[in-house]
Structure 1
Amino acid sequence: MKALTMARLLIRLFGVVALMTLNSVAARAEIAIAVAGPMTGQNIFRGEQIQQGAQLAVADLNAKGGVLGQRVQLLVGDDACDPEQAVAVARKLATDGVVFVAGHVCSHSSIPASKVYEEEGILMISPASTNPKLTDEGGANVFRVCGRDDQQGLVAGNYLADVWADKSIAILHDNSVYGKGLADETRKQLHKRGVKEAMYASYMPGKSDYAELVSGMRAVAIDVMYFGGYGADAGLILREANNQDFEVQLVGGDSLTTEEFWMVAGPAGEGTLMTFGADPRMNPEAAEVVDQFRAQNFEPGGYTLHTYAAVQAWTQAAEIAGSLDLMAVIKALRTHRFHTVLGEISFDQNGDVTAPGYVWYRWTKGEYVPAK
């Protein structure tokens, strides 16, 4: 009886060990990567863009056999554009064993998260964080497929000086790393051009009432408002200006390329101008992917295709390296060109993408289109 019991126990133990081994092999056969950004909170529309981009990229990737013969599993991290939450998300993703993160979005979240990824040996390619500090002060593991605010501010400052040098200009920002950084870069270039703004002020993001701010601009007869911040706040400020019969031209950056801006601003947003990279939806290389998104009733605006491209760049770099080893993938990223929905791209030694610069867009009838 004891011998039989022992035999059964040994069989069961062998079975458990075999099952654990199989599970371990199965786990290793699936590569974990992540997309991270504001899946909740004020910037949820930007989060939806990057999540949609990453999901379709991984689905298409797995349909073609995955990476290095292994399927890819996509994890989703929600930082709500909060720095502390971003660090917590980064640490959780490290614990989950991810080798690559497409994220984050808001610069004030991306920068602290990048420090965790550097410590943990995880590759990070941001689709949307534009503050120069991300790559200037980041580790060798940090890349981005979008432009930088010093590039964006140069274009904006020149345009303000070229078109509205004789007008009363206000420069507003929300005190965030992104918003203030973009506003200050624009202001710097405006001053280089010999133009001084009539008003430079910060505002509190997330408020429901900007009557006092708008009244202040109206009191000094502002003609043009350069805006460093996010879409919902810009929309509310424009609506309040409309309520006060105050006509002001809104000019902003890439954060205004979300449906959220128009949903909040409504007709008051008509004619709003902003800088953004050349629209990847127009690229022949993106046509098939754009059709896939539209078939799902999702318009791949903003940073959707940038996120898809981030996954493509990582995939191709891993295949070139023949490995998931971080340093091997970094070397491939720094020394090769990649075919993506953004077109053919490469990265400089700083981790910044080498791609066409910023161009102008205008909101009209619920869509943003190239400004003429």
Structure 2
Amino acid sequence: MRRLFAAVALALALAFPAQGEVLIGVAGPMTGKLAWTGNQLKRGAEMAVAHINAAGGVLGQQVRLTVADDFCDPQQAIAAAEKLISDGVVFVIGHYCSGASIPASRIYAKAGVLQISPSSTNPTLTEQGLANVFRVCSRDDAQGLEAGNYLADHWGDKKIALFHDDTTYGKGLADETKKQLNRRGVTEAIYQSYTPGKDDYSAEIAALQAADIAVLYLGGYHTEAALMVRAARDRAYPVQLISGDDTATEAFGLIAGPAAEGTLFTFVADPRRNPEAAEVVKRFRAENFEPDSWTLHSYGAGEVWAQAVAKAGSLEPEEVIAALRKYQFDTVLGRIDFDEKGDLTVQGWVWYVWKDGEYVPLD
């Protein structure tokens, strides 16, 4: 019955938008350990909506944004999705975590709501075959391939440990990295999970040091990565930390402090360096906000939706989805288009290193 009411609410919102408004949502971890990242998604979506409205809105109607907190938790993500649907959104920017995006995507699919994730990298999101699901980031099978090759090329003769936090994102990334490392003929010395959310990982780091581990690849989020590298440096243990895209946030550097220096990770090409993003980056910085990590991907997801609506000449989900699959879009992320799964047609990951308190492309 709830699904029926949600579908009716959506149909009414499309047919009779309140005061000429179109309601869209942004969903992510707005509280909890990943609140820093959730705020990036929110700020990117807010700026996109402001610019869309300044340009006349969509189909002559102004856009209004509503925010949902999913805590990066699967069950909370379902609740957040159901709330957004009952509110009458036609489109959602989100979610951040793959473990939240995947269950939420099934709720949006049943209600006919378009979802574009700025940052959920687990392949399952678009492998489900849901027509309404897209993402403006690359996938972890490509990221793991890059990481596995790098580990094999640079530490193939050393002891390698692979840690993961048992989440959809963290374990998925560690597994993809392990697959490629093993394909290259290298067997890791340690592959194990860790408990996320702890304040101290000195015991885990001590065990790695006792095992003479030279490099730790971590599939997980920046909070635990920062605490682990701090614990290692406190022991004067020079283990090389390597991780994935969630490490691309100022919050990692703030938590890790000087211990962040030298940490390697993969991330998509930093959109702050795109000529297309220069004016938007300038506006963020004028507000004393640095649009790092996935901020501009959230903005770009909003841009893509608005352009697809304009090309479709309609807010009807099926017509907007058809436009997303048919056209290319000029965004702060550069020119992008989607394949039949809803993935970017061009997948790409770049190596970065933390240096002097910021992350920069690895030479």
What SS class does the counterpart of residue 324 from structure 1 fall into?
coil
Question: Letter of the aligned partner of 2:321 in structure 1?
Answer: I
Pair 1:307-2:325 in alignment: no
1:13 equivalent in structure 2: none
Pair 1:358-2:340 in alignment: no
2:156 equivalent in structure 1: 165
1:101 and 1:26 map into 2 onto residues whose CA distance is 16
Pair 1:75-2:66 in alignment: yes
2:284 and 2:360 map into 1 onto residues whose CA distance is 19
Question: Letter of the aligned partner of 1:294 in structure 2?
Answer: R
1:330 equivalent in structure 2: 321
- Could you tell me which of 35, 39, 43 is aligned with 2:30? 39
> Gaps (5+ residues) in structure 1?
1-23
Paired residues, number: 349
The answer as to whether partners of 2:139 and 2:347 remain within 8 angstroms in 1 is no
- Could you tell me which of 210, 213, 219 is aligned with 2:210? 219
2:210 and 2:119 map into 1 onto residues whose CA distance is 36
1:282 equivalent in structure 2: 273
- Could you tell me which of 84, 97, 122 is aligned with 1:93? 84
- Could you tell me which of 18, 35, 43 is aligned with 1:52? 43
Question: Letter of the aligned partner of 1:146 in structure 2?
Answer: C
2:43 and 2:146 map into 1 onto residues whose CA distance is 29
1:263: how far off? Answer: 1.1
The answer as to whether partners of 1:235 and 1:262 remain within 8 angstroms in 2 is yes
The answer as to whether partners of 1:169 and 1:222 remain within 8 angstroms in 2 is yes
1:210 equivalent in structure 2: 201
The answer as to whether partners of 2:223 and 2:255 remain within 8 angstroms in 1 is yes
Post-superposition Cα deviations, 1:315-371, rounded to whole Å, max 9, x if no partner, equal 011111100001100100001000000000000000001235001000111110000
2:344 and 2:179 map into 1 onto residues whose CA distance is 23
Matches within 5 A, 1:246-285: 246-285=237-276
- Could you tell me which of 155, 169, 174 is aligned with 1:178? 169
Runs of 4+ in 1 over 2 A off after TM superposition: none
1:25 and 1:120 map into 2 onto residues whose CA distance is 17
25-34 or 65-74: bigger deviation: 25-34
What SS class does the counterpart of residue 170 from structure 1 fall into?
strand
1:26: how far off? Answer: 6.7
What SS class does the counterpart of residue 347 from structure 1 fall into?
coil
Pair 1:140-2:137 in alignment: no
- Could you tell me which of 179, 199, 215 is aligned with 1:188? 179
Pair 1:109-2:81 in alignment: no
258-267 or 88-97: bigger deviation: 258-267
Question: Letter of the aligned partner of 1:284 in structure 2?
Answer: P
2:283 and 2:290 map into 1 onto residues whose CA distance is 10
> Gaps (5+ residues) in structure 2?
1-14
1:214 and 1:188 map into 2 onto residues whose CA distance is 24
The answer as to whether partners of 2:200 and 2:227 remain within 8 angstroms in 1 is yes
